[in-house]
Amino acid sequence: MVRVMFVCLGNICRSPTAHGVFELVVRQAGLEHLIEVASSGTSAYHIGESPDARSMTAAQDRGYRLSHLRAQQVQIEDFEHYDYLLAMDIQNLTVLQQQCPLITHDKVKLFLDFGSVGENEVPDPYYGGGQGFDHVLDLVEDASRGLLTHIRSQL
Ligand code: 4NP
């Protein structure tokens, strides 16, 4: 089993989007029995909440479902359980690197390290307009394909 956790700040916009997109990518590849998908936030701001309505609408327009997800905060045990803790931006990468036990340091990466569009951060869409949510989806779809290719090569 390969275990992947996507991490942003609030776990209501970017990481639930990555969670929903990658979950479908994995299912379409027939690998849901081999790859576990989760998401979390480095902050406690939105624990227990559904994804942001703007993220759910933008995702739904492309055929992804996020409504079953609820925000949670990264726990210290997550660094042991998951094989990949993939941060949406450098701010959250830094927080994860500060929190993680030294032995798990290599599990913490930027999600867009697996992308091909030459950007390394998924910008926070929370305070912006609707097109920010579509841009998140563009980046997440691209990096999800790259991540699946990478994990397949390791199976
Ligand atoms: P996310 O977006 O990290 O992609 O879930 C945000 C959600 C909430 C806040 C910031 C970013 N906030 O400040 O409440």
Per residue in 54-109, pLDDT (tens digit) is 999 999 999 999 999 999 999 999 999 999 999 999 999 999 999 999 999 999 99
State the CATH architecture for 2-154: 3-Layer(aba) Sandwich (3.40)
Q: How far is the CA of 26 from the centre of ligand 1 (A)?
A: 26
Per residue in 20-66, pLDDT (tens digit) is 999 999 999 999 999 999 999 999 999 999 999 999 999 999 999 99
Half-sphere exposure of 52 (CA within 13 A, CB side): 22
Helix (H) or strand (E) holding 151: helix 131-154
Would you say the pTM of this structure is higher than 0.75?
A: yes
Structure tokens at 81: 């359980």
11 lines ligand 1 (CB under 6 A): yes
Q: Where are the domains of the chain?
A: 2-154
Alpha carbon 150 to its chain centroid, in Å, reads 16
40: helix, strand or coil: strand
Say which residues have a Cβ less than 8 Å from residue 112's Cβ, sequence separation at least 6.
119, 120, 121, 122, 139, 143
**8 labelled catalytic:** yes
